[in-house]
Amino acid sequence: MKITLSNITAYKKWLNKENKPLSLAAKDLAAHAAEINKDVRSFIAIDPDVITNRALSLEKQTKRGSLWGVPVALKDNICIKGGLTTCGSRILEGFRPPYNATVATKLQAAGALLMGRANMDEFAFGSSCETSCYGPTRNPRDLSRIPGGSSGGSCAAVAAAQVVAALGSDTGGSVRQPASLCGVVGLKPTYGRVSRFGLVAFASSLDQIGPVTTNVEDCARMLEVISGHDAKDSTSVDINVPEYTASLERDIKDVTIGIPKEYFTCGISKDVSRRVQEAIKALKGLGAKIVDVSLPHTKYAVSCYYIIAPAEASSNLARYEGVHYGRRSAHAEDLIEMYIASRNEGFGAEAKRRILLGTYALSSGYYDAYYLKAQKVRTKIADDFRAVFTACDCILTPTSPTTAFKIGERIDDPLKMYLSDIFTIPANLAGLPAISVPCGEDKSGLPVGLQFMAGPFKEEMLIRVAHAYERSR
C-alpha cells in the first residue's frame, strides 16, 4: 500500500491499515524518504537503522501520545542526544550533543518518530538553503528552484511528503518564508512560548523554534506538544498553554484584520499581490472586518535586523575556535594560528560575512552608532505593533514578496537575498507570533504564502483565522 504522509490523520489511517509493528513501518518510511531525498536533498542523512531503533523504543511505550509513530524531521540546529548536529557547517563536523533539546524530548514523549536532520543554511544564515556545507536543498515543486531558508530542508521534507511534520527555527522568517515558497504551513510562536534549550544559537533575542506542517490543524497539534515553560531556558515564559486545536472550528465573524499599507510596496510581484488581495476578499466573505492600518517604522526593519542579528551571531559564534568541539585545523603551529585556521576552514562565506558585520557593529566607536541605535529602532517597531493591535485582532500581509527563485540566482547578491525576508523580519524584532499559509500559486504554478501576525501569546487567534481561511479554499 502506498505510504500516506499528507497529514497526521491520513498517516495514522495508513498506519492502522498496514497493521504491522511500527518498527517494520519505519523501514518503509525510511526507504520512502531516502528515495525522494535523491532529488530534493531535504535531509542531510537518513539512517534506516537509527530510525528503526527509535521505532522499537516507541513500541515499548505503554502510554501512546498524540504524535505516536508520526514521522517528524528536525532542523540540523536542534540537538538530539548522541546524534550528529552540525548546523550545516564544517566547523561542527562530528559534533554529537550530550543532551536533547527540550522540543526533542517533548516530541519523543508524545511518541513522534524522529526521522533525522533536515538541511539548512549554515548556522541559519540565509534565505535559500544554499549555504549549507552539504549543498543546496531543492524545492519539491520545481527542482531548479530554492525552497527558501534557512529552514529549507524542514519545509521541503514536509512539502515532498517525506515526513508528516517538521521543526525549524525562525530568526527573521526562517520557518515562514520557506513554508511560503514550498506551499506548506509554518508558524513562528511568540518569543518565549517554546523553549530554545538545545537550539544552537544564531541571534538569541530573535530565535524561536516553530512547526511546519501541511495544514493548520496539524500545526496546532504540534504547537500544543512543543510549547510550555522550561526552567532550562531563561527566556522561556511561564504562561498557560492553550488547547490550540479547540480554536479550529470557531468562525471569524467577530475578528478584525488589519492590512498595513507598508507591506504592499512596489517590490511585490504581481502574482503575489493578486493572490493576497483574493485572500482579503475571501476573509471578508467569511465575516471578518478588514481595516487599513499603518506600521510606519517597517521601512527600517531590514536595516535594524541586519545590525542586531549579525551582532548577536558574532558573539554566539565566538565559541567555535577548534578547542572544545568541532573542527580543528591540522595546519597550524601555535594556538592563535589554530584559531584562525580552524574558523577560516570551518565557516562558509555567508557565516564569515555575518561575523564580520556583527563584530564591526559591536566594535569600539561604532556600538552607539549602530547596535544601540538599532535597538532603539527595534523598540519603535514593537511600539507600532502595540498601537495597531488596539484597533485589530491580527494583521495580514504577504509572507514573501516573490515566489521561489532559481538556485544560484541570488547567492552572489547578499543585499537582494536579505530582502527576501522583508515581510517576516518585523515579527521577530517585536517578538510576535506569525503564521504563513498557502494562498494559491503564481502563473508558473509556484506557491504563494499569506502571513498573519497577532499580539504576544495570541497563537490561538492566528490558528483560528488561518484555519478559517484554509477551509474556505
CA distance 243 to 248: 10
Where residue 423 falls among pLDDT bands split at 50, 70, 90? very high
Helices 22-40 and 8-18 meet at what angle, rounded to 10?
Answer: 130
Among 191, 208, 40, 7, CA closest to 118: 40
Region at 440 (left for phi over 0; alpha for psi -120 to 50; beta for the rest)? left
pLDDT band for position 244 (50/70/90)? Answer: very high
What is the rounded distance in angstroms from the CA atom of residue 473 to the CA atom of residue 456?
28
How large is the average pLDDT for residues 224-244? Answer: 97
pLDDT tens digits, 349-383: 999 999 999 999 999 888 888 999 999 999 999 99
pLDDT > 90? residue 124: yes
Please name the residue that has the C-alpha cell 494562498: 439
pLDDT of 293-335, one tens digit each? Answer: 999 999 999 999 999 999 999 999 999 988 877 788 888 888 8
Sketch the domain layout of the chain as residue ranges: 8-244
Active-site residue flag, 75: yes
In whole numbers, what is the pLDDT of the chain averaged over residues?
95
Per-residue pLDDT at 1: 61
Q: Which residues of 423-433 are buried (b: 16+ CB within 10 A; e: fewer)?
A: bbbbbbbbbbb
Q: Which of 42, 75, 236, 314 is catalytic?
A: 75
Instruction: Give 412's pLDDT tier (boundaries 50, 70, 90).
Output: confident
Catalytic site residue from 150, 195, 247, 314:
150
Nearby residues of 300 by Cβ (< 8 Å), 6 or more positions away? 377, 380, 381
What pLDDT digit, counting tens, does each position of 6-62 carry? 999 999 999 999 899 999 999 999 999 999 999 999 999 999 999 999 999 999 988
- At 67-96, the pLDDT tens digits run 999 999 999 999 999 999 999 999 999 999
* Nearest-angstrom CA–CA distance, 210 and 196: 10
- 174 assigned to active site: yes
Please state which architecture CATH assigns to domain 8-244. Answer: Alpha-Beta Complex (3.90)
For residue 169, indicate whether it is catalytic: no
The residue length of the chain stands at 473
* Residue 152: pLDDT over 70: yes
Examine the pLDDT at 257 and tell me if it is beyond 70: yes
- Rounded to two decimals, the pTM is 0.96
Phi, psi of 301 (to 5 degrees): -60, -45
User: What is the pLDDT at residue 413?
Assistant: 86
Distance CA 221, CA 248 (A): 11
Q: What is the mean pLDDT of residues 129-154?
A: 98
Residue 288 has pLDDT above 80, yes or no: yes
Q: What is the pLDDT of residues 158-210, one digit of tens each?
A: 999 999 999 999 999 999 999 999 999 999 999 999 999 999 999 999 999 99
Helix axes 102-109, 216-226, angle to 10 degrees: 110
Measured over the CA atoms of residue 291, residue 297, residue 302 and residue 304, the dihedral's sign is negative
Position 347 scores a pLDDT of 95
Per cent of the chain over pLDDT 90 is 88
The pLDDT of residue 364 is 84
Cell digits for 299? 521601512
Low-confidence winner among 201-210, 336-345, 445-454 (lowest mean pLDDT)? 336-345
Residue the block writes with cell 511505550: 61
Average pLDDT of 249-255? 94
**To 5 degrees, how large is the angle CA 125–CA 416–CA 133?**
30
C-alpha to C-alpha distance for 450 and 347, rounded to whole angstroms: 34
DSSP collapsed to 3 states, the chain: CCCCCCCHHHHHHHHHHHCCCHHHHHHHHHHHHHHHHHHHCCEEECCHHHHHHHHHHHHCCCCCCCCCCCEEEEECCECCCCCCCCCCCHHHCCCCCCCCCHHHHHHHHCCCEEEEEECCCHHHCCCCCCCCCCCCCCECCECCECCCCCCHHHHHHHHCCCCCEEEEEECCCCCHHHHHHHCCEEEECCCCCECCCCECCCCCCCCEEEEEECCHHHHHHHHHHHECCCCCCCCCCCCCCCCHHHHCCCCCCCCEEEEEHHHCCCCCCHHHHHHHHHHHHHHHHCCCEEEEECCHHHHHHHHHHHHHHHHHHHHHHHHCCCCCCCCCCCCCCCHHHHHHHHHHHHCCHHHHHHHHHHHHHHCCCCHHHHHHHHHHHHHHHHHHHHHHCCCCCEEEEECCCCCCCECCCCCCCHHHHHHHHCCCHHHHHHCCCEEEEEEEECCCCCEEEEEEEECCCCHHHHHHHHHHHHHHC
- Residue among 154, 174, 180, 314 flagged as catalytic: 174
Q: How confident is the model at residue 346 (pLDDT cuts 50, 70, 90)?
A: very high
